[in-house]
Amino acid sequence: MASSIAITNFTISDSNQSSYIIVPMLMGLLLILFYAKDSKLNVNPKRKDIIIAVLLFAAYIILLSYSRLALSYLFMTYRIDMLLMPLFIIAVISAIFGVGAINRFKILIVYMLFSSPIILLPILNLSSSFALFNANIVYSILRSIGIPVISNGIVITAPSNYSISIAKTCVDIGAFVALILFLIPVAYLYDGGAKKKLLWVFVSIIIMLILNMLRMIFIAIFWAYYGITSAIAIVHLFIGPLLFYLVIIIMILMAGRFGLHFQMATSKKKQKRQKIVSKNNLPLWKFAIAPILFGLIGLYFALPYLSAINAGYYTFGQLTNPSYPMLDRLILGNLGNSRQNITQLPNIEYNTVYTIGDGKNSTSLIYTIVNQTSMPSQDPLGLVYNYSTSKSSILLNSGISYRSMVVYSNKREFYINFFSVPMNISNSTFSIRYGFFKEVSNNTILCQYNANISTQNYIESYIYNLLNGNMGDSNSILCPSLYVAKSIT
């Protein structure tokens, strides 16, 4: 989990709805400490519990390996590392407290799922509708106090022709999610009924909505009369994050009014807990062996995250069409790492076509097709063929899945390599998909399967290929295409 936290931005940004994920990551660690107040927890795993814990941990490693290869860079885009974290936590719980204790940690297990934005994407994607709803409220309030503004969607125009937009950054759903996820562990720590805690969290959302609405109304009124000055622009920029912290402070100060309070464990509870833990007559370090091994192995497999490409989901789709001259320069720059001559051919529909190699010898040419999409994608260019052999997938150090195979089509054999990478073009991320094609011949230079990747990535690639039955002859990796893939970081 340390590597996952290390690659995550610690700032909750109103321009990135998924930036809230840092909250459950950090507060999840705090929630683990809060479980110390549970006097019913007992360090007493049986042999059956240890076996189940080992099986659960093995399932975690297998799922981790398979999903990294299957999803390529999308593994980090959707933060599948954190989506799988509850399975790791369940394995550790089983090894320390036994399988029967899993139910006592259900709040932690469910809570940690929200460290992956994929869980709340349907809600986060409502940001545009939520912005329009707030724009209509601001417009109605301005009209009700006599300001003759005109509304067109999220754009409100004053008689002076000044315009203001109630954009998604003004009413970031991610900030509300971050607030809820911050307060849930705090509510767990408080003593009090579940209904009181739910009401406490619900009221925090209402206060956040009201304060944010007042912020927008104040700025809109000032703008209607004076326009957007530099002072108001600065206030607009910084007041949002300040509201987040202000609401947290208000709710903690108001917790007593909701019947919530802290209560230290009594000495009897402490004595009871001490007796339960020590009744095994075994040193606690023996029960820590399995969890420590799980943690060390998990950390070992997570270290490659630090060098993997991390393109956030909400960096995609900002533009539907890239700057094509810039795109062509980026692609040519990448293909230049093939260490061979590059020739651009006429485009085929939306695909840019190149050849790699010496044009004087057509049998040595590698044909390359490149296209782009504004959304996260790693589709293999819609290939159509009779059947394929020599399949292999390699997880490169950048977190990119590089795939190769030999396909048979119209009684001819072709080497095909393909991969997809995210690229930032004009402040928006696009998925650039590369496909390399070459007819099988004796003069083809192929590269080795391991491709100088890290040991962890090699193991994960082996697991993925084994599960897909691709452990046969993997001699289908074209060296120039591999050089291109490895050069992209």
What is the C-alpha separation between 216 and 305, in angstroms, rounded? 39
| Average pLDDT, rounded, for the chain | 83
Q: How many domains does the chain have?
A: 2
What is the C-alpha separation between 277 and 270, in angstroms, rounded? 11
What pLDDT is recorded for position 83?
95
Beta strands in 161-225 (DSSP E): 163-165
What pLDDT is recorded for position 143?
86
Residue 188 has pLDDT above 70, yes or no: yes
Q: Are 445 and 476 in contact (CB under 8 A)?
A: no
Q: How large is the average pLDDT for residues 35-45?
A: 74
Q: Are 91 and 57 in contact (CB under 8 A)?
A: yes
Asked if 350 and 267 sit in the same domain, the reply is no
Instruction: Name residue, tokens 């080497």.
Output: 415
Asked if 307 and 352 sit in the same domain, the reply is no
* Boundary-marking domain end, from 295, 315, 335: 315
pLDDT in tens, 447-459: 876 667 889 999 9
- Written as one letter, the residue type at 23 is V
User: Which long-range contacts link 79-83 to residues 24+ away (Cβ below 8 Å)?
Assistant: 79/4, 79/21, 79/115, 79/116, 79/117, 79/118, 80/116, 80/118, 81/4, 81/302, 81/305, 82/4, 82/21, 82/25, 82/112, 82/115, 82/116, 83/113, 83/115, 83/116, 83/118, 83/119
pLDDT in tens, 390-417: 788 899 999 999 988 888 887 888 888 9
Q: Are 3 and 305 in contact (CB under 8 A)?
A: yes
* Boundary-marking domain end, from 315, 332, 354: 315
Q: Are 393 and 403 in contact (CB under 8 A)?
A: yes
Asked if 228 and 372 sit in the same domain, the reply is no
- The token pair at 328 is 């062509």
Asked if 363 and 291 sit in the same domain, the reply is no
What pLDDT is recorded for position 276?
42
Helices assigned H by DSSP within 145-193:
173-189
Give the closest residue to 432 by CA, choosing from 296, 334, 341, 307: 334
Instruction: Name residue, tokens 């509510």.
Output: 187
3-state secondary structure of 103: helix
Asked if 433 and 471 sit in the same domain, the reply is yes
First vs last Cα of the chain: how many Å apart? Answer: 23
Asked if 272 and 221 sit in the same domain, the reply is yes
Give the closest residue to 292 by CA, choosing from 32, 26, 53: 53
What is the C-alpha separation between 110 and 181, in angstroms, rounded? 11
pTM: 0.85
* Boundary-marking domain end, from 252, 281, 315: 315
Domain that holds residue 362: 324-487
Q: Are 408 and 309 in contact (CB under 8 A)?
A: no
What pLDDT is recorded for position 266?
45
Asked if 414 and 371 sit in the same domain, the reply is yes
Band (344; pLDDT cuts 50, 70, 90): confident
CA angle (431 as vertex; 426, 437 as ends), nearest 5: 125
Q: Are 104 and 20 in contact (CB under 8 A)?
A: no
Number of separate helices (H) and strands (E) present in the chain:
18, 10
What is the C-alpha separation between 157 and 162, in angstroms, rounded? 6
What is the C-alpha separation between 154 and 134, in angstroms, rounded? 8
Band (112; pLDDT cuts 50, 70, 90): very high
Asked if 397 and 432 sit in the same domain, the reply is yes
Asked if 308 and 333 sit in the same domain, the reply is no
Element (H, E) at 406: strand 401-409
Asked if 127 and 79 sit in the same domain, the reply is yes
Asked if 432 and 295 sit in the same domain, the reply is no
What pLDDT is recorded for position 291?
86
Give the closest residue to 246 by CA, choosing from 211, 274, 214, 277: 211
Q: How large is the average pLDDT for residues 310-337?
A: 82
Asked if 241 and 348 sit in the same domain, the reply is no
What is the C-alpha separation between 43 and 386, in angstroms, rounded? 58
Strand order of the β-sheet with 163-165 is 150-152, 155-157, 163-165
- The token pair at 98 is 């036994």
Among 166-170, 189-193, 267-271, 273-277, which range has the highest average pLDDT?
A: 189-193
Beta bridge partners of 150: 157
pLDDT in tens, 244-281: 888 999 999 998 888 888 765 444 444 444 444 444 55
Beta bridge partners of 368: 354, 436
